[in-house]
Amino acid sequence: MIVELGHYALVLAFALTLVQCFLPLWGALTGDDRLMAVAPPVSVTLFMLIMISFVALTIAYLTSDFSVLNVVQNSHSAKPFIYKFTGVWGNHEGSMLLWVLILVFFGALVGVFGGNLPKDLKAATLAVQAWVTGGFILFLLATSNPFARVANPPLEGADLNPILQDIGLAIHPPLLYVGYVGFSITFSFAVAALILGRTDAAWARWVRPWTLLAWCFLTLGIAMGSYWAYYELGWGGWWFWDPVENASFMPWLAGTALLHSAIVMEKREALKIWTVLLAIFTFSLSLLGTFLVRSGVLTSVHAFATDPARGVFILGLLVFFIGGSLALYAWRAPMLKQGGLFAPISREGGLVLNNLFLTAACAAVFVGTLYPLALDAVTGEKISVGAPFFNLTFGPLMIPLLLAVPFGPILAWKRGDLLAASQRLYVAFGLALVFTLFTFWLWGMEKVLAPLGVGLAVWVMAGAVSEIVTRVKFFEIGPKRGFARLVGLPGSAWGTVVAHFGVGVTVLGIVTASAFQEERIETMRPGDTVEVSGYQVTFDGAAPRRGPNYVEEVGHFTIRQGGVLVTELDPSKRVYTARQMPTTEAGIHTIGFSQIYLSMGESRGDGAIDVRVYFKPLITLIWIGCVIMSLGAVFSMADRRLRIGAPKPASRRKTAQPAAAE
Amino acid sequence: MTRKQRRLTLIGSAGAVLAVALGLILFALNDQIVFFQSPTDITQKSIPAGQRIRLGGLVEEGSVVRADNAQVSFRVTDTANAVAVTYKGILPDLFREGQGVVTEGIVNADGTFVADSVLAKHDENYMPKEVAEALKDQGHWQGGEGEAN
């Protein structure tokens, strides 16, 4: 009954999106207030309906209702409670329902908090959002109904794929989806601006917090996914340039470009047309990511769907939304007025440079991800494009960008002075040089590029701090007044510093973890010891153990440094009984920012096992840096300016005041 | 600077960055991509020693031999031909005799495939798509669609 209610709510929501698609839009174009007023209440109702739907599915999972096909295929009564709950989105249908839930949630936010948006912009934005929502609800209803029943309910379900039974899965998809789908709002704003034929600073001021919010979650989602793959797959890698990873990375790159170009648009009214295009691209890449991941074009843990009809349907949606918005763009963009001249050496110039490199890097990732698919489709030849390709293309494009990062915030708007900017970066440059030479001295000629990488990371971090210290003239006016001024800086200034610092931290983690990691692969018998980076790892033996829905062989390892006990680790090899599927549980110990990583191979029967031992220096900085970056986005969102709005220029009656993106 | 010069600088730098990106992409596509080969391809075509390739097929029944130091050797077959593979490391969880596998590495001088990565992906039903198609070409694959789910 509850399940049917959920299904019914979903159908009802689809019918409502049809209303929302046309009436408010018609109202916005004809200036009919009554029609425009339809949009906000409908957006809230849509959210409530999808919520009912989602709750219904959740209840089916929690009560292990095996008369629902989706639950049968992905759940098991013996599964721990938390994974019954996260299992709701650990499958194709449920995850698409979550996607739609977030879509309507963002729509409702605009509906509720968009009170001070220009009426027509708000109505048109909500209408566009409804188009996207309607498309995806139709997709759910037509090809992937989560509420389908089975005629003869089995007694037991097939269980969730074991490697998805992890707390990382509980968090990763919702974070990623808030990121992906958050860009749908900027997309809707962009398309609405094209439909209405105008954008202004108020538009940019509205778009920026949404971009920041989406970007913040996407960053966390990608970091979470990376950490999950690191500890759950047992390979010790944190990024594989796997097409599925790239699918989430491309919208991130475009989104990063977007949140920078939106600054130029807001502050200087320049780059309007480009910003609108980026907003369209970013969400298009999110859609493309969904298509790649969910359609089964790629084989991976994410490819739940095998039904070709689904792939074709998502492809149809993709063509409709991307093609439609780009056609609209080609037709309407020339109507948007360009403004704001600037010299090449200026803050705007710096942000343009940022956009150039980010979009070029995004293009490189795009080619590397889609070329094998295209080649296979055209010639039937099978190739794989792996890390070497991306290291050779993405890497070189990032280096000039990272070199330029500290300059950006220091340059003045309109006309900057490169020499004066350099003078404020002496200290950062000195620090970078010192760390480069220090690393070089530590490792000698063995590694040549790594010290430069460390220097680059320090340059970005120190550059971010220099900017703010020299900006308040901290050392000239003394620490007491200096601190007061630092606290008084606007949130967006802090956001820039914190986010850029986070970039440096991540780069440092990447460089050290890839260049200086040590790895040993050995066959060990109880009592054997291997040494890695100064740590002695002793294998004490293995014993079987039984969990709620799995059995495992647990190895016991003791780690010492110079005879002193550091820790004991228990990596294991599990077999989940319902699917008879083995998984590897790595043993990880964190020392400072570095980690010792142990994973076991299969037991050989005579007590010997294959063991892989890594020491990964500073590896946690990779994810910590991502968290810092998201924190930067939070600071930026907290900026008073984004909450209060622009002082109203006398000449413009309809200046919008943005609501908070809280 | 005049308005025109500014615009030219902008377009020029954009062009330069894009040209560099394009150059890198084309260079890397020429050099860094890895072709998928079946055991038959490897025995029939002469693949220069040292060139990286991906080899996919089924792990031949009874061919897996484990030595000390985590060394493993096995044979990958497409039922028509088989290639000997050596690998040092921990095999993935779903590596099984008789199951599909994709390995990446180089063919050495005596015709042995030295793999530095072995993929047998995340699911018990998983048959790498390339492997399934290569086996179909050989006319030996009777299973349904080999797909992850």
Task: Measure CB to CB from residue B35 to each of A383, A582, A583 and give the nearest one.
Answer: A383
Inspect the interface and report whether the beta carbons of A303 and B34 lie closer than 8 Å.
no
Quickly state the pLDDT bin for A333 (edges 50, 70, 90): confident
Inspect the interface and report whether the beta carbons of B149 and A304 lie closer than 8 Å.
yes
**Chain B residues touching A575 at Cβ < 8 A:** none
Quickly state the pLDDT bin for A308 (edges 50, 70, 90): low
- Do the Cβ atoms of A572 and A541 come closer than 8 Å? no
Task: Measure CB to CB from residue B24 to each of A364, A372, A581 and give the nearest one.
Answer: A364
Nearest CA in chain A to B72: A610
Please give the residue that has the higher pLDDT: either A160 or A53.
A53
Inspect the interface and report whether the beta carbons of A521 and B123 lie closer than 8 Å.
no
Nearest CA in chain B to A372: B33
Does residue B149 surpass a pLDDT of 50? no
The confidence score (pLDDT) of residue A656 equals 42
- Site from A93, A295, A299, A552 to mutate, B interface, most B CB atoms within 10 angstroms: A299
Query: Which of A54-68, A231-245, A496-510, A580-594 shows the lowest per-residue confidence on average (mean pLDDT)?
Result: A231-245
pLDDT, tens digit (0-9, with 9 covering 90-100), for A505-514? 999 999 999 9
The confidence score (pLDDT) of residue A565 equals 92
The confidence score (pLDDT) of residue A641 equals 66
The confidence score (pLDDT) of residue A456 equals 96
Average of pLDDT values for B40-50? Answer: 80
Quickly state the pLDDT bin for A643 (edges 50, 70, 90): low
Instruction: Give the residues across from A522 on adjacent strands.
Output: A611
Quickly state the pLDDT bin for A100 (edges 50, 70, 90): very high
pLDDT, tens digit (0-9, with 9 covering 90-100), for A400-410? 999 999 998 88
Q: In Å, what is the CA distance from A305 to each residue of A69, A224, A308?
A: 14, 23, 8
- Do the Cβ atoms of A298 and A244 come closer than 8 Å? yes
CA distance B94 to chain A (A): 7
Inspect the interface and report whether the beta carbons of B148 and A299 lie closer than 8 Å.
yes
Structural tokens at position A401: 């960008």
pLDDT, tens digit (0-9, with 9 covering 90-100), for B15-30? 898 899 999 999 888 8
First to last CA, chain A: 36
- The values of phi and psi at residue B134, to 5°, are -65, -40
- Work out whether strand B52-59 and strand B33-37 pair parallel, antiparallel, or are unpaired: parallel
Reported ipTM exceeds the 0.90 cut = no
CA distance A172 to chain B (A): 18
- The values of phi and psi at residue A401, to 5°, are -65, -45
The confidence score (pLDDT) of residue A252 equals 97
- Do the Cβ atoms of A321 and A281 come closer than 8 Å? no
The confidence score (pLDDT) of residue A291 equals 81
Distance CA A204, CA A191 (A): 13
Task: Measure CB to CB from residue B147 to each of A306, A383, A573 and give the nearest one.
Answer: A306
Does residue A349 surpass a pLDDT of 70? yes
Does residue A305 surpass a pLDDT of 70? no
**Chain A residues touching B68 at Cβ < 8 A:** 523
Task: Measure CB to CB from residue B25 to each of A343, A367, A372 and give the nearest one.
Answer: A367
Inspect the interface and report whether the beta carbons of B148 and A161 lie closer than 8 Å.
no
Average of pLDDT values for B68-72? Answer: 82
**Chain B residues touching A611 at Cβ < 8 A:** 70, 90
Does residue A649 surpass a pLDDT of 60? no
This prediction has a pTM of 0.90
- Do the Cβ atoms of A574 and A585 come closer than 8 Å? yes
Inspect the interface and report whether the beta carbons of B124 and A579 lie closer than 8 Å.
yes
Inspect the interface and report whether the beta carbons of A584 and B93 lie closer than 8 Å.
yes
Coil, helix or strand at residue A149? strand
Residue (of A502, A423, A501) closest to A462 by Cα position: A501
CB within 8 Å of A595: residues ≥ 6 apart? A588, A589, A614, A615, A616, A619, A620
pLDDT, tens digit (0-9, with 9 covering 90-100), for A130-187? 999 999 999 999 988 999 998 888 888 877 777 777 787 778 889 999 998 999 999 9
Written in H, E and C, the secondary structure of A470-489 is HHCCHHHHCHHHHHHHHHHC
Average of pLDDT values for A377-382? Answer: 81
Coil, helix or strand at residue A81? helix
pLDDT, tens digit (0-9, with 9 covering 90-100), for A557-577? 999 998 899 999 999 988 888
Inspect the interface and report whether the beta carbons of B70 and A610 lie closer than 8 Å.
yes
% of chain A at pLDDT higher than 70:
94
Query: Which of A22-26, A446-450, A629-633, B2-6 shows the lowest per-residue confidence on average (mean pLDDT)?
Result: B2-6
> Burial code of A523-551, b = ≥16 C-beta within 10 A, e = fewer?
bbeeeeebebbebbbbbeebeeeeeebbe
Average of pLDDT values for B99-103? Answer: 84
CA distance A316 to chain B (A): 22
CA distance B110 to chain A (A): 24
Burial of A651 (0-12, 13-18, 19+ CB in 10 A): exposed
The confidence score (pLDDT) of residue B132 equals 65
The DSSP line for A5-37 is HHHHHHHHHHHHHHHHHHHHHHHHHHT-HHHHT
Average of pLDDT values for A188-203? Answer: 86
Inspect the interface and report whether the beta carbons of B32 and A385 lie closer than 8 Å.
yes
Inspect the interface and report whether the beta carbons of B34 and A383 lie closer than 8 Å.
yes
The rounded mean pLDDT for chain A is: 87
Q: If you ran DSSP here, which 8-state letter would residue A295 be given? A: S
Residue (of A141, A147, A49, A161) closest to A101 by Cα position: A49
CB within 8 Å of A29: residues ≥ 6 apart? A195
**Chain A residues touching B94 at Cβ < 8 A:** 581-582
Q: In Å, what is the CA distance from B90 to each residue of A230, A533, A619?
A: 15, 20, 22
Please give the residue that has the higher pLDDT: either B144 or A214.
A214
Provide the number of CB pairs (under 8 Å) joining chain A to chain B.
Answer: 145
CA distance B143 to chain A (A): 15
Instruction: Give the residues across from B84 on adjacent strands.
Output: B75
CA distance A361 to chain B (A): 7
The confidence score (pLDDT) of residue B133 equals 67
Nearest CA in chain A to B26: A393
Inspect the interface and report whether the beta carbons of A299 and B32 lie closer than 8 Å.
no
Helix (H) or strand (E) holding A74: helix A69-74
Please give the residue that has the higher pLDDT: either B9 or A405.
A405
Q: Which residue has the tokens 């490391």?
A: B89
Coil, helix or strand at residue A159? coil
- Do the Cβ atoms of A90 and A160 come closer than 8 Å? yes
* Total count of residues recorded for chain B: 149
Please give the residue that has the higher pLDDT: either B133 or A517.
A517
The DSSP line for A379-412 is H---EEE-HHHHHHHHHHHHHHHHHHTTTGGGSP
The confidence score (pLDDT) of residue A650 equals 42
pLDDT, tens digit (0-9, with 9 covering 90-100), for A84-99? 888 898 888 899 999 9
Average of pLDDT values for A409-421? Answer: 84
**Chain B residues touching A610 at Cβ < 8 A:** 66, 70, 89-90
**Chain A residues touching B132 at Cβ < 8 A:** none
CA distance A163 to chain B (A): 8
- Site from B10, B13, B17 to mutate, A interface, most A CB atoms within 10 angstroms: B17
Structural tokens at position A368: 């590397």
Nearest CA in chain A to B118: A235
The DSSP line for A299-361 is -STT-----HHHHHHHHHHHIIIIIHHHHHHHHHGGGSPP-----SSSHHHHHHHHHHHHHHH
**Chain A residues touching B32 at Cβ < 8 A:** 385-386, 388-389, 392
Inspect the interface and report whether the beta carbons of B24 and A392 lie closer than 8 Å.
yes
Task: Measure CB to CB from residue A299 to each of B25, B68, B129 and give the nearest one.
Answer: B129
CA distance B66 to chain A (A): 9
% of chain A at pLDDT higher than 90:
49
Please give the residue that has the higher pLDDT: either B131 or B119.
B119
CA distance B79 to chain A (A): 20
- Do the Cβ atoms of A347 and A413 come closer than 8 Å? yes
Residue (of A76, A66, A70) closest to A88 by Cα position: A70
Task: Measure CB to CB from residue B33 to each of A341, A343, A383 and give the nearest one.
Answer: A383
Please give the residue that has the higher pLDDT: either A59 or A298.
A59
